[in-house]
A and B are shown apart, each in its own frame.
Chain A
Amino acid sequence: EPEVTQTPSHQVTQMGQEVILRCVPISNHLYFYWYRQILGQKVEFLVSFYNNEISEKSEIFDDQFSVERPDGSNFTLKIRSTKLEDSAMYFCASLVSPNTEAFFGQGTRLTVV
């Protein structure tokens, strides 16, 4: 069964450093999302991406965050200058069309120290 894959599974970074989280959505999917989940809390929406542009973003997704689809397969989330409060599990999700199931990746645990 096809699945969304994310790398790395765990990343530890110094405060102020830039990180890039990578996602490979399912190949025929067209809608891409990033969510984050602080330990023990709910899954929070960050940004959605369709047709090579951001279609929706939350208040969390400020100027420190950016997304890119650099080629036909990868979908990346960049955090320019990480803060301690960015420590969370980051999930990528994709779906083939708006009326279908969202598939989540296994997540990247980001730890900012």
Chain B
Amino acid sequence: GENVEQHPSTLSVQEGDSAVIKCTYSDSASNYFPWYKQELGKRPQLIIDIRSNVGEKKDQRIAVTLNKTAKHFSLHITETQPEDSAVYFCAASIRQAGTALIFGKGTTLSVSS
């Protein structure tokens, strides 16, 4: 089955800096890669996703890149703000088959002002 590795496990940045979180996946059939943000004690919420037919997607300060050949994808947050502090999870699945999302272990991002 699918296995998703995520790095780093913790990331501390200064406000205004960029943050990059990287994930690799094992199943070449996976074609859907969402990123979730989870604040303390709350549910995971989708912040951005990418499908395997594109290499990059951007939404304001957040971008995701995908390298299908290398089977890795990354989350980029620019101009970080204290409210970006949270745990970020990457995930992978085979979308058309409706298979479950398999999550990485999460990255705790701390943005200090």
Most chain A CB inside 10 Å of its own CB: which residue of B42, B43, B103: B43
Taking CB as reference atom, which chain B residue is nearest A107? Answer: B43
Does more than half of chain B's interface fall in helix, strand or loop, or is it mixed?
A: mixed
- Check if B43 sits within 8 Å of A56, measured CB to CB: no
CB A36 to nearest CB in B, in angstroms, measures 11
Chain B interface residue count: which class? 20 to 34
CB-defined contacts of B33 to chain A, threshold 8 Å = none
Of the stretches A65-73, A80-88, A95-103, the one at the interface is A95-103
CB-defined contacts of B95 to chain A, threshold 8 Å = 98-99
Of the stretches B13-21, B44-52, B58-66, the one at the interface is B44-52
CB B97 to nearest CB in A, in angstroms, measures 6
How many of A's residues come within 8 Å of B, CB to CB? 25
Cα A56 to Cα B97 in complex, Å, equals 11
Taking CB as reference atom, which chain B residue is nearest A106? Answer: B43
Number of A-B contacts (CB under 8 A): 56
- Check if A104 sits within 8 Å of B44, measured CB to CB: yes
- Check if B44 sits within 8 Å of A91, measured CB to CB: yes
Cα A45 to Cα B67 in complex, Å, equals 25
Cα A43 to Cα B87 in complex, Å, equals 11
CB B54 to nearest CB in A, in angstroms, measures 14
- Check if B43 sits within 8 Å of A41, measured CB to CB: no
- Check if A41 sits within 8 Å of B96, measured CB to CB: no
* Chain A, range 33-80, C-beta contacts under 8 Å to B: 33, 35, 41-45, 48, 50, 55-56, 58
Cα A55 to Cα B99 in complex, Å, equals 8
In the complex, whether A105 has a CB less than 8 A from a CB of chain B is: yes
Q: A101-B34, A104-B45, A107-B43 are in contact. Are A45 and B105 (CB under 8 A)?
A: no
CB-defined contacts of A105 to chain B, threshold 8 Å = 43
CB B24 to nearest CB in A, in angstroms, measures 15
Pairs of residues from A and B, 3 with the lowest C-beta to C-beta distance, nearest first:
A98-B98, A45-B100, A104-B43
